[in-house]
Amino acid sequence: QMQLVESGGGLVQAGGSLRLSCAASGLTISSNTMGWFRQAPGKDREFVAVISWSGSISDYADSVKGRFTISRDHAKNTVYLQMNSLKPEDTAVYYCAADRGPISTIHSRYDYWGQGTQVTVSS
């Protein structure tokens, strides 16, 4: 059974940092484009970051460029999202997703999703 499990969310003050992890089972992340998305209450799910299957290409939403970094560890079959200089507007449920195609910022393109992890940034 293919499964993505996020962890690492929590409550942090503005300016702080968190590192989210996404552990995959039943699928090999080295064969998939891996993305992070987020959804705040009352808002649509939005793209945050994506990394290609090889790790050579990555892309970020303008709102997180320079603050967030996506990475992958094939040996651990895990994808990470390092989030620095967090702002209250980063508060959302963060989801990890896997796509068998090329990198995409469109959430409907992704085939598999985790259950999400809550990130709350206080001002």
- Please report the pLDDT score of residue 55 as a whole number: 86
CA atoms of 117 and 121, how far apart (whole Å) = 13
CA atoms of 96 and 45, how far apart (whole Å) = 12
Residue 2 has pLDDT above 90, yes or no: no
- Please report the pLDDT score of residue 11 as a whole number: 98
What average pLDDT is seen over the chain?
96
Q: What percent of the chain has pLDDT over 70?
A: 100
Residue 82 has pLDDT above 90, yes or no: yes
CA atoms of 31 and 89, how far apart (whole Å) = 32
- Please report the pLDDT score of residue 121 as a whole number: 98
Mean pLDDT to the nearest integer, 76-86: 97
- Please report the pLDDT score of residue 4 as a whole number: 97
Mean pLDDT to the nearest integer, 46-62: 95
CA atoms of 116 and 118, how far apart (whole Å) = 7
